[in-house]
């Protein structure tokens, strides 16, 4: 008895590869933005009496 639904193709269309690449790039961008945010927050939360904290406070 033949199936009513066509079998899916083995190869995905070219647009699928583009969407996958776009999602991967967006994920990488979000990851890098998160790392920069954590780094900036860690610099802002340094105590004022530490060496780098003093340098940052004087610069601001």
> For residues 43 and 52, is the Cβ–Cβ distance under 8 A?
yes
Residue 16, both tokens: 């699928």
pTM above 0.75, yes or no: no
C-alpha to C-alpha distance for 43 and 25, rounded to whole angstroms: 27
Q: What is the pLDDT of residues 4-57, one digit of tens each?
A: 766 665 665 668 888 889 999 999 999 999 999 998 888 777 776 666 667 766
């Amino acid at each position: 008895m033949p199936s009513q639904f066509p079998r899916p193709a083995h190869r995905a269309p070219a647009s699928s590869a583009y969407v996958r690449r776009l999602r991967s790039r967006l994920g990488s961008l979000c990851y890098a933005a998160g790392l920069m945010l954590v780094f900036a927050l860690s610099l802002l939360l340094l105590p004022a009496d530490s060496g780098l904290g003093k340098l940052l406070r004087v610069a601001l």
